[in-house]
Structure 1
């Protein structure tokens, strides 16, 4: 039998493939969706209503779209809040943010939401001319329900929608021939910020989830571009994620283009050509194209960028230099800053995620073959330069607008790209590897729980910089639904199960598969990208 390149390398047996009896992507999708949705649901109830940045404006917009008002009344003035007609209890949501930007104030200051106030009232929203796609889905929770019940229903719809796309990241990762490092990168992508934002009514969370889904699913498709009949679900996942991504926020079309370019750079242009030429892909590609056309049409006709609230003008040069100087100050926002940017993450949580992200970034930046680094380089450049360019472009009109969460979609794709680029790094299953993995997962679980507890402390008893008041949480001034103790236990249990599932996937992905034979010929695409 003639020798192939892989016949002399038994490590070919050491990576799991669904073609060779590996984990089922469908099972991974369902389990991941359940676990991520559960964790996000805990945040839905742990965070007081309207405690996510700009949540009142987005809630009003969602309720209006659900009632057929896709665009509010406007005079076209920069930063003008558009007027819409919504139920009275939703129109009054702006009164419930008394704790915003005041982390010493507990959530009990918020007035009770009157569920009986369902009559039509006018309300102003700064999201009035945003794309209605996301709001049409989330706004369904306000139909037939009222008061807090309706608001929590809207939150849960947003949470489980984002959780689905985040789950496709793990499902697509296990479909890769070498999925250990892509899986680890996907786990690091689930920062506390991602889960916290997914629990609020804000399209930012869906933007992050769909960008990650688009990238990983497209990588799965490109890797099997010579056997496209085996990845039809992934092709549709690319199409649906792309449509949602394009229609989330005004700048999302740019993130979509960058994400697709990064995935193609991680493989080859010829792989993309084969995908585009495959007849069965014409329908999902057409759906994606129509979604992008609608997003561009809405962006131009509705003047979505006009919704930016005006502030004190800043010269472009000053804004650019200031953004450059503050580049790394936004790291804590990438990790997770709660409330209306008033509750930074505990230092231990920040260190945990910075360390994990640094390991993934270093692996991607030094990966072989070198061509895999091009996508990493592109995304790193966008992550560094885009905030500077976007802030400088608008500073003379609306002043300072930038927040770290605006670029999170690119950051999560960068981390995933590092996992893709470094997937050929040998990952042998030894006792030392096992111990490192267990301790890393334990640290991640602890960091997530600590971050949740910090948020609960902030809203139940307030943060007092002069003293430590953890024990006062047992006599709280405010309690979330089901109590903070119960929510914490559910969160811990969900994280523990998720960590165990990830451990099983990684350990199975590093052990030899008996069904794999040395003489089996891998796909030509894998041969081209292997070191």
Structure 2
């Protein structure tokens, strides 16, 4: 086993750190480019984070801001009105930047009852510097958390499986909305990344019975699952769904091996404790409560479900790729079509050539999140309206392209050379799209995006508003991230990576 450890450590350093740096720079580009309150409800999350940083972990649940509202005592320098959200032709220049008067007041936030763990990690800069510096540092901490989880997923798929094409699944799964959320104060980004890290560790653990079980995989399952079940109210449900999809159907031999493997029980204990704690918090603090919006009372469940499938599902698909800012910035349809092509090049062949158990897993990774969100929305539509968004589905749905890429390698649909070419082709498609989404959203924030022939700005470095670090700094940071991720895609499918993978597999088999 020691020989295996020696051979795997250099591979870990190469794959994990390269992926981490690439993802972090990409997410940091979004963090540096965004105005205050740039993503849905970011200001509400900032207020919650600043309150937690001041020790207000469990404020009294009350009607404050609507839904899961509560009051937090925070510096008023962080309380700013948003004058541009939902107006894509209006720049952020009308808004007042955070900073200035730092006296503390009682402020309502819709995120006041959310689990405090995420906010405790990202919120401490807001207590020290309740201004642009604190907001930027909080965003960068969030970007670091997300990038660490994404790097774990990338390393799992490249180093713990024998299929180089698995790297394509990671590149296609991390859509621009994930990078956008990662670069803001919003627990949804961490939730999505934790779901991907959990799935990526379970794939080699459950689907490669000829390989020995790994302690590192169990550690990743325990950590990623615990994070997933902590940051948002649906986390325990999403974690149970992911584990259930990967466990059933599983071979009896693999299940017996898991039960005999002591780290499995440590991971299970961690998941049980954090899941119970997360669920208990949600129940006690009423952290899933919604605010009534006066929806039509005559709407039936059947009508709500029809509306979800016919009207809302197309929106969900678009939002899974990314509708940045406050769901008010749509890129040209060709950007979404190109990403769908990248996803389809993995998903359709995997479904066509996979076994029945493979097809069921792919289908369940799709239908479970869509079904849960659609049913929940339809049941409460008469009281709360249709409030779900595509990003809510991503912690589970993100498993579809990752599993599909793995299955293409597992079923030998392509030889090694063609697998490498497909990975690199997908990198060439999706990484420039990452930059296109950021650049277009920067134009929206800085100048507004027009729909007329006389007003269609296309320069992400111009406009009436600019981020404190500068537009060029933000964009170049993301460019650097995409270059590093491209390097990761090339090197993870190269001959040296393949030789290292084969050496590691031989070392593990001998030990």
TM-score when normalising by structure 1: 0.86
1:210–1:308 Cα change, 3 Å: farther
1:369–1:19 Cα change, 3 Å: farther
Q: Which residue of 1 aligns with 2:159?
A: 175
1:459–1:273 Cα change, 3 Å: same
Whether 1:376 and 2:359 are equivalent positions in the alignment is no
Specify the SS of the correspondent of 1:123.
strand
Q: Which residue of 2 aligns with 1:419?
A: 405
Q: Which residue of 1 aligns with 2:222?
A: 239
Please state how far the C-alpha of 1:275 moved relative to its aligned partner: 2.3
1:158–1:351 Cα change, 3 Å: same
Counterparts of 1:23 and 1:266, CA distance in 2: 34
Find the partner of 2:32 among 34, 40, 45.
45
Is the 1:333–1:405 contact (alpha carbons within 8 Å) kept by the matching residues of 2?
A: yes
Specify the SS of the correspondent of 1:388.
helix
Q: Which residue of 2 aligns with 1:486?
A: 473
C-alpha offsets along residues 361-403 of structure 1, whole Å, 9 cap, x if unaligned? 1133123343333311222221432222111122123122111
Q: Which residue of 2 aligns with 1:70?
A: 57
Quote the RMSD (CA, aligned, Å).
Answer: 3.0
Please state how far the C-alpha of 1:22 moved relative to its aligned partner: 10
Counterparts of 2:7 and 2:169, CA distance in 1: 23
C-alpha offsets along residues 137-167 of structure 1, whole Å, 9 cap, x if unaligned? 1112223222111111111111110111111
Whether 1:104 and 2:89 are equivalent positions in the alignment is yes
Whether 1:498 and 2:485 are equivalent positions in the alignment is yes
Specify the SS of the correspondent of 1:353.
helix
In the TM superposition, what are the counterparts of 1:246-257 in structure 2 within 5 Å? 246-257=229-240
Counterparts of 2:358 and 2:459, CA distance in 1: 52
Number of aligned pairs? 501
TM-score when normalising by structure 2: 0.90
Is the 1:180–1:509 contact (alpha carbons within 8 Å) kept by the matching residues of 2?
A: no
Is the 1:266–1:420 contact (alpha carbons within 8 Å) kept by the matching residues of 2?
A: no
Counterparts of 2:50 and 2:103, CA distance in 1: 13
Find the partner of 2:254 among 271, 275, 282.
271
Please state how far the C-alpha of 1:40 moved relative to its aligned partner: 0.5
In the TM superposition, what are the counterparts of 1:198-213 in structure 2 within 5 Å? 198-213=182-197
Q: Which residue of 2 aligns with 1:335?
A: 321
1:202–1:490 Cα change, 3 Å: closer
Specify the SS of the correspondent of 1:422.
helix
- Runs of 5+ in structure 2 lacking a partner? none
Counterparts of 1:387 and 1:321, CA distance in 2: 13
Find the partner of 1:216 among 200, 204, 211.
200
- Runs of 5+ in structure 1 lacking a partner? 1-16, 525-531
Counterparts of 1:455 and 1:517, CA distance in 2: 43
Please state how far the C-alpha of 1:455 moved relative to its aligned partner: 0.7
Find the partner of 1:160 among 132, 139, 144.
144
Counterparts of 1:514 and 1:181, CA distance in 2: 13
Please state how far the C-alpha of 1:420 moved relative to its aligned partner: 3.0
Please state how far the C-alpha of 1:32 moved relative to its aligned partner: 1.1
Whether 1:301 and 2:284 are equivalent positions in the alignment is yes
In the TM superposition, what are the counterparts of 1:24-63 in structure 2 within 5 Å? 24-63=11-50
Counterparts of 2:266 and 2:93, CA distance in 1: 51
1:259–1:397 Cα change, 3 Å: same
Please state how far the C-alpha of 1:466 moved relative to its aligned partner: 0.6
1:216–1:269 Cα change, 3 Å: farther
Q: Which residue of 2 aligns with 1:9?
A: none
Is the 1:80–1:309 contact (alpha carbons within 8 Å) kept by the matching residues of 2?
A: no
Counterparts of 1:43 and 1:500, CA distance in 2: 21
Is the 1:222–1:275 contact (alpha carbons within 8 Å) kept by the matching residues of 2?
A: no
Find the partner of 1:348 among 334, 343, 349.
334
Counterparts of 2:36 and 2:26, CA distance in 1: 17
